[in-house]
Amino acid sequence: MYSSDFGKDFLWGVATAAAQIEGAANSYGKGPSIWDTFSKRPGKTKKGHNPSEACDFYHRYKEDIALVKTLGFNVFRFSIAWSRIFPLGNAVLNQEGVSFYHNVIDECLKRGVTPMITLYHWDLPEALSKEGGWTAFAINSAFNEYALFCAKEYGNKVKHWIVINEPFGFTSLGYMLGVHAPGQTGVSNFFDAALHTAIAQADGAKILRAEVKDAIIGTAFSCSEIIPYTQSGQDLLAAKRVDALMNRFFLEPVLGMGFPTAEWDVLEKFAVTHSTWRHQERMKFDFDFIGIQNYFPLVIKYNAFVPVVQAWEVKAKNRRVPHTVMGWEINADSFYRIIKQFAAYPEVKNIMITENGAAFHDKVIDGKIDDPERTEYFKAYLAAMLRAKNEGVNVTGYLAWTLMDNFEWAEGYQARFGIVHNDFKTQQRTIKQSGYWWQDFLSK
């Protein structure tokens, strides 16, 4: 299996995010983001790590984009840090930040690498968070102002766009469970944030469609195949509730189907109290591609003691199945099935894998970074994707997570997903053996 098996127009890339790689968090006019603030709170990230320096991509972007080209990829996905453009979230513009992204884009184009911009990858300006963040209705006008600026500023050079990264991920982890920024908790906060995010997802896409000629517009959903622990009625119903929340809750409104209320009365109550027909129309958009980001399946069993959802994950290690250092199950067949699940919607005309990868304990052998588990992971998952593609699923691209080890949110610098090793003390980049495997794979 080589890249040529997927067709000559297939997009191969690496995905990154501003807060995870840029650094220069308090420099060059950038305002603080919720992750700058959240990571300073004791106990919120592993070992108290924060993104203030990260991978220093801000100063090393030329070197890193050269690495993308050297490894053979033709797409570099990166996000714009909202607070680097608008330090206070809106109104006041930071020209240094604007120029930085022009430089990144120009370097990509110079190297023959297609730039793909994510408008929002979890790093909300702290100033907007203080006003309620995604739980506040005002966030939509602020986001639209930001999206309009980016479309007008960069749209003549950038044609590939992702509006929002993993809406369920950041609304559930950041506004319901409190384990990610901004650290809020409660079902009410989650539902408020979810509604405004679903609106922003379509609003941003409509702005890009209007402002960017020949734009190729997508949005990126985290997804997991949901597997009931047993075939008992309660486990089956619990799995359906989790699937509705994790896989369908943000996708189906985009497709014009509204929120998935049939499986769960809690979602029906939410839809009745939060959503009108006007919301349903506003949340709909005909995306050029749907980005899916898959790392693991979830095995779910009924648990009456878990509030609201009454479901519980049966961990991979407890089931004694292969898993990464994050405890995430390795299951390429499940990756195939989730691609098929999303492709089964008639309205989904094009799927791109906008993130997929794994964290392992890399080994240094004779000066080389040896990570055979990661290489085998990619081989298995790409084979599963090719199987789906050969069965007629219109999969048009794959973006590996990630180019280099980085600030992995609440995991800090502990979890390494990169195909390039980064020494965070020296910022020395070293291509891992998995990176060299990619180089060979993409050359044929």
Annotated catalytic sites, by residue?
A: 166, 355
Whole-angstrom Cα distance, residue 180 to residue 98? 27
**Residue 411 — φ and ψ, nearest 5°?**
-80, -5
Three-state helix/strand/coil letters over 87-149: CCCCCCCCHHHHHHHHHHHHHHHHHCCEEEEEEECCCCEHHHHCCCHHHCCCHHHHHHHHHHH
Separation in Å, CA 250 to CA 209, 219, 294, 388, 440: 20, 10, 15, 23, 37
Q: Which tokens in the block code for residue 370? A: 């040896």
Whole-angstrom Cα distance, residue 129 to residue 33? 9
List the end-to-end C-alpha distance of the chain, in Å, as a whole number.
9
* Cα four-point dihedral sign 407, 409, 412, 413: negative
Three-state helix/strand/coil letters over 319-376: HCCCECCCCCECCHHHHHHHHHHHHCCCCCCCEEEEECCCCCCCEEECCEEECHHHHH
Name residue 102's beta-bridge partners: none
Q: Which tokens in the block code for residue 217? A: 């517009």
